[in-house]
Amino acid sequence: MNDTDIVALFEARDEEAIRECRAAYGNYCHSIALRILENQEDAEECVADTLLRAWNAIPPAKPRALASYLGAITRNLAFDAYRRKRQQKRGGGEIMLAFDEIEEVFSANTTPDEALDRKELAAVFNRFLGKLSERDRNILLARYYFVYPVKDIAKQYGKSEKYVRVILERTLQKLQKYLEKENDI
């Protein structure tokens, strides 16, 4: 069943939409949640919450790319769950490494919320991504959006971890300069 058919099931309020969605995108959403939450049960709960959120949002929402739509919901729910869990206990893990790496870019002068509102920051970030090479953009997104460990990114590109770290460091430096330039305009 394709995305259009699944969205049509949601719009018809047919519960088959949930089953088809889980069959088509359950593993994809689970992998996103698991990388962030690092716990099978929490990831499974996040996927269930994603499907419920999609059920409640479609209609009126009519996503053009169902995988991206569900992935974004999963990612946001997983980060929310991660923050709640972290408030209860302080911990490390891959997500904290990724946050620590990118935090330096945003904490240099001001926080992103102080510098630009969220929509403007997203637009600036998207413009920045558009200026990157495909390789650099994919590596940056793999690390900071999908929260892949550097080791996995290196393996995917057939490069060393040091190579990936250098690309990330240089890209974050470019991002910091780009944000500073945009903030001065």
Give the domains, in start order, of the chain with CATH numbers: 3-88 (1.10.1740.10), 94-184 (1.20.140.160)
What are the pLDDT digits (tens) for 125-165? 788 888 999 999 999 888 887 788 899 999 999 999 999 99
Q: What's the whole-number mean pLDDT along residues 55-78? A: 90
Q: What is the residue-averaged pLDDT of the chain?
A: 82
Q: What is the pLDDT of residue 64?
A: 85
Q: What is the pLDDT of residue 91?
A: 47
Q: What is the pLDDT of residue 136?
A: 92
Q: Is the dihedral of CA 44, 36, 94, 152 positive or negative?
A: positive
* pLDDT over 50 (residue 109): no
Phi and psi torsions of 31, nearest 5°: -65, -35
Q: What is the pLDDT of residue 35?
A: 87
Q: Is the dihedral of CA 89, 90, 94, 99 positive or negative?
A: positive
Closest CA to 36 of 118, 97, 87: 97
Confidence of residue 97 (pLDDT cuts 50, 70, 90): low
What are the pLDDT digits (tens) for 36-58? 888 899 999 999 999 999 999 99
140 or 182, higher pLDDT? 140
Q: Is the pTM of this model over 0.85?
A: no
3-state per-residue secondary structure call for the chain: CCHHHHHHHHHCCCCHHHHHHHHHHHHHHHHHHHHHHCCHHHHHHHHHHHHHHHHHHCCCCCCCCHHHHHHHHHHHHHHHHHHHHHHHCCCCCHHHHHHHHHHHHHCCCCCHHHHCCHHHHHHHHHHHHHHCCHHHHHHHHHHHCCCCCHHHHHHHHCCCHHHHHHHHHHHHHHHHHHHHHHHHC
CB 103 within 8 A of CB 170: no
